[in-house]
A = this chain, B = another copy of it.
């Protein structure tokens, strides 16, 4: 029941109203791995890093059951670097710097040992790279989920359309859903996007929660109301890691189980935003996760017998 996590492993510089870090480990595959490894082993990581990526980080991931055979290290280049600034409304951010560095060379080749994985999480990358990963699988995985972003809708729409036909679950945020579908209503957007390929659509709304659409069904999970959202970087990828981790652990891809997976993903994301980068994800225990999920139950549970 292995889970492939494809994406970036990178450095971020982050500024929020609560503080600033000049260099912290980040990247979509890093967050997916830290979140998913609470639920399933092995995570089969596919990424590319430069000479500067810390060995301690690799060891920390490895200890959590993350296989690194699919992570290429380029000896004469730097790791991908992103720098951004958040304001009080954490739902939007300004990108200050994007240094692609090693990402320009990313041409993932799946190790033989990865090619029969049942679950695949494709982080936000050029859709051609996402497609190439899928094509290397020996058999059709049980569930393929992908993230993408507005940039690819503007610069690589034909390739994006192709890969959308190959996946089961698309995870995007509300503004991306509106852009991809040219519909303002998220319900109409969901219908249009599910026509493009994915049978399941997750629309992430940051502090306003997440929606899961499938056929004519819809499920909503709130974000946990927190005193402070300290740093939202990686929250979407952490959500994806929690979601896919739960799915891979249970091997149940029903709509009902995806609801639970969304709650698990939301719980993991609620930890992620409590500290800079993946710091909080590194310290939480199974008991922390369990108690956080209980908070979600209390947050939305109500007694309908009275009505």
Q: Is there a chain B Cβ closer than 8 Å to A58's Cβ?
A: no
A256 to B250, CA, bound (A): 32
Q: Give the nearest-CB partner of A259 in chain B.
A: B302
Contact among B184, B264, B301, B307 for A293, CB-based, below 8 A: B307
A259–chain B nearest beta-carbon distance, Å: 4
Q: Is there a chain B Cβ closer than 8 Å to A173's Cβ?
A: no
Q: Is there a chain B Cβ closer than 8 Å to A73's Cβ?
A: no
Docked-complex contact A225 and B211, CB < 8 angstroms: yes
Docked-complex contact A304 and B300, CB < 8 angstroms: no
Q: Which residue of A218, A252, A262 has the most chain B CB atoms within 10 A of its CB atom?
A: A218
Q: Give the nearest-CB partner of A304 in chain B.
A: B297
Task: Give the residues in chain B near A187, CB-CB below 8 Å.
Answer: 225-227
Q: With A208-B208, A218-B225, A225-B220 known to touch, is A260 a contact of B185 (CB < 8 Å)?
A: no
- 1/0 per residue, CB under 8 A from B, across A221-245: the answer is 1100111110000000000000000
Q: Give the nearest-CB partner of A209 in chain B.
A: B222
Contact among B211, B219, B220, B290 for A307, CB-based, below 8 A: B290
Q: With A299-B218, A307-B293 known to touch, is A185 a contact of B257 (CB < 8 Å)?
A: no
Chain A binding surface, main DSSP class:
mixed
Q: Is there a chain B Cβ closer than 8 Å to A77's Cβ?
A: no
A218–chain B nearest beta-carbon distance, Å: 6
Docked-complex contact A303 and B259, CB < 8 angstroms: yes
A259 to B260, CA, bound (A): 21
Q: Is there a chain B Cβ closer than 8 Å to A188's Cβ?
A: yes
Interface size, chain A (Cβ < 8 Å): 43
Q: Is there a chain B Cβ closer than 8 Å to A263's Cβ?
A: yes
Q: Is there a chain B Cβ closer than 8 Å to A88's Cβ?
A: yes
Q: Is there a chain B Cβ closer than 8 Å to A24's Cβ?
A: no
Q: Is there a chain B Cβ closer than 8 Å to A137's Cβ?
A: no
Q: Is there a chain B Cβ closer than 8 Å to A186's Cβ?
A: yes
Q: Is there a chain B Cβ closer than 8 Å to A96's Cβ?
A: no
Contact among B228, B257, B298 for A306, CB-based, below 8 A: B257
- 1/0 per residue, CB under 8 A from B, across A30-56: the answer is 000000000000000000000000000
A selection of 17 A-B contacts at a CB cut-off of 8 Å is A187-B225, A188-B228, A209-B222, A217-B298, A220-B222, A220-B225, A221-B302, A222-B222, A252-B306, A256-B303, A257-B303, A260-B306, A260-B307, A263-B307, A264-B307, A293-B304, A293-B307
Residues of A within 8 A of B (CB): 88, 184-188, 205, 208-209, 211, 217-222, 225-229, 246, 250, 252, 256-257, 259-260, 262-264, 290, 293, 297-304, 306-307
